[in-house]
Structure 1
Amino acid sequence: MGRNKYPEQTFERILDISTKLFIEKGYEQTSIQDILDALNLSKGGLYHHFKSKEEILEAVMQKRAQYVTDMLHDIIQGTKAINAKEKLKKILYHLGTDLETHSLDMVLTSQINNPYFVVSGLQTCVKQDAPIISRLIEEGIKDGSLKTTQPAFCAEVFLLLLNYWANPALFGRNDLETKERLHYLQSVMSLLGLDIIDDNLINAILSGYEKMGAY
C-alpha cells in the first residue's frame, strides 16, 4: 500500500469519527474495531497516528480545549454590550448553551474518575481559559462595571468553582444540590465584585448538565 498522501486529513477523520462514536456509544463501549469499521481504515493506518484508544481520547480532550478557546475568542470579537460586565455575561451564557461543547463534555464525563484527565482539565482551566476571562474582568474594572480586585486570581477561582466544585458529575450530586451550589457561587462571586452569574446562566448550566446525563 502506498504512503498516505494526506496524513493530517486522516488524523482529523480519526478524531471526528471517534468523537462521534464516543458520544453515541460511550467511550467504554466503543472499541478500536468500531473505529476502524467506521473509518474503513486498517489497524496500521490507525496506529500510525494513535497507539491506543486512550491516546485518541486525549486528543479529543485537547481538541475540545482548543475548540472552547477558539470559540471564546470568536464570541469576544462578535459580542456587543454596553460594558464589559454585560459582555462577559453574554459570553458565559453562550458557552453554557453551546451544544458541541456539551456533546464533547459527555465524552469526558465518562473519564471523570481518571486523575490524569481531571488534572489536565484543571491545568487547561487555569492556564488557558482563565487568562481570557481575566482580560474581560480587567476591561470591566476600567469601565467601572466590575468592582473586583486581582482579576487573574478572580478568574481562576470563578472557573475552578464553576467547572469543578459545582460539577455534579465529579461528586455524584443531583440537580437540586447542583442548583444550590450554583446559587451559592452566585452569592460568593457577587461578594468578590464579580456579579456575572444570573438566573438565566444558572438555568442554562443546569440544562447543559441534564443533557450530558451528569445526574
Structure 2
Amino acid sequence: MARIPQDPQIRIDEILDTAEPLFLANGYRKTTILDITKKMGVAKGMVYYYFKSKEEILEGLVNRRFSVLLADITQMAYSNDFTPPRKIELILNAIIHSAQEKDGLLLDILSDEQNIHIKNKMVRQAALVLNPSLLKIIEEGTQKEWFHPSQPDIAVNFILSTLRCITDAMSDKASGEQMACYLKTAESLIATVLAMPDNALCLSLEQKQFHLNSVG
C-alpha cells in the first residue's frame, strides 16, 4: 500500500494535479482511475483513500478552482479601491474568464449530461457566495447613488440568471459574434435593472483586461 503523507492535502493536490490534464487531454469519460494512478506511479488504493470515485475527483477539481475565485469575489465586495459599477464589471468578467480557462474544457466536462448534477451543485454553491456579495455591492452603489434599483434582491437574482445564460452560451459553443451579442445584451439588461447608464458596464471575453487578483 502506498505510504500516506502526514499532510493529506499534499496527496489530494497531487491527485488533482495529475487528473486535470488527463481529463482535458483524453476526455473525462475516457480517463480512468487506473490512468491517474499510472501517471502518478502509485497504487490504486492510494487514490481511493482520498477519493471514492472519479466523479469525486472531478468535483474536487471544480471546488479547488472556484473556491479561489469566490474568495476573491468576496474580497472585491468589501474593497474600497473600486466604484460599485466597476466591482460588478470585474466580478462578472472574472467569472466569464474562469469559464474560458483551458479553452473552456472544464465547462464542457461539467455540461456533459453525466456530470450535470455536479455543475448544478457548483452553481448553487456559487450563488451562496455571489448573492450576498452582489447585494453588498448593490446596496453600496444605491447609497452612493450609482444605482437606483427598485428591488435589490431581485436585481441580484436577475444578474445571476443573466450570468448563467452567458456561461450556457459558452458551453453551447456560441460563435464570437453570438457571444458579443450576449455580452452587449447583458450589459444593457443589467444596467436597466440597476437603473444606471447603458455604457456603465463592459463585459468582455478578453481576459487581459480584467484581474480580480489585483485587488489590494
Which amino acid counterpart does residue 88 of structure 2 have in structure 1? L
Matches within 5 A, 1:4-23: 4-23=5-24
Between 1 and 2, higher relative CO (CA 8 Å, sep ≥ 6) is seen in: 2
Q: How much does 1:74 deviate?
A: 4.0
Q: Deviations over 1:53-109 (max 9, x none)?
A: 11111121222331221122344566612x3223332343445445x9723952132
Q: Which residue of 2 aligns with 1:112?
A: 111
Gaps of 5+ in 1: 208-215
Tell whether the 8 Å contact from 1:89 to 1:197 is kept in structure 2 after alignment. no
Change (3 A) 1:170 1:24: closer
Contact in 2 for aligned 1:17/1:38 (Cα 8 Å): yes
Q: Deviation per CA, 1:6-54, whole angstroms, max 9, x where unpaired?
A: 3231112112221233234432343322211222221010111112211
Q: Describe the shift of the 1:63–1:152 C-alpha distance in structure 2 as closer, same or farther (beyond 3 A).
A: farther
Instruction: Map 1:178-197 to 2 at 5 A.
Output: 178-193=179-194, 195=196
Distance change in 2, residues 1:131/1:106 (3 Å): farther
SS at the partner of 1:110?
Answer: helix
Q: In 1, Cα distance between the equivalents of 2:16 and 2:38? A: 14
Q: Aligned residue for 1:213?
A: none
Q: CA RMSD in A?
A: 3.2
User: What SS does the aligned partner of 1:137 have?
Assistant: helix
Looking at structure 2, the residues matched to 48 and 11 of structure 1 have their Cα atoms a distance apart, in angstroms, of 10
- Would you say the 8 A contact 2:85–2:141 is kept in 1? yes
From the superposition, tell whether residues 117 and 27 of structure 1 become closer, same or farther in structure 2 (CA, over 3 Å). Answer: same
Counterpart for residue 160 of structure 1: 161
| Aligned residue pairs, count | 205
Deviation at 1:170, TM superposition (A): 4.3
Pairing 1:67-78 to 2, within 5 Å after superposition: 67-76=68-77
Identical pairs, percent? 21
* 1:92 correspondence with 2:92: yes
Q: Which runs of 5+ in 2 are unaligned?
A: 210-216
Identify the residue that residue 210 of structure 1 maps to in structure 2.
none
8 Å CA contact 2:183–2:203 kept in 1: the answer is no
Give the structure-2-normalised TM-score. Answer: 0.77
Alpha-carbon distance between aligned partners in 1 of 2:195 and 2:61, rounded to the nearest angstrom: 32
Distance change in 2, residues 1:41/1:78 (3 Å): farther
Q: Distance in 2 between matches of 1:176 and 1:95?
A: 20
CA contact (8 A) 2:142 2:148 kept: yes
SS of structure 2 residue aligned to 1:149: coil
Partners of 1:80 and 1:87 within 8 A in 2: no
- For residues 134-163 of structure 1, give each alpha carbon's deviation from its aligned partner in whole angstroms, at most 9, with x where no partner exists: 211111111111111332331222122223
Q: String of CA shifts for 1:120-145, please: whole Å, max 9, x gaps.
A: 13312422222212211111111111
1:30-179 mapped onto 2 (5 Å cutoff): 30-76=31-77, 80-81=81-82, 83-97=83-97, 102-103=101-102, 105-114=104-113, 115-164=116-165, 167-179=168-180
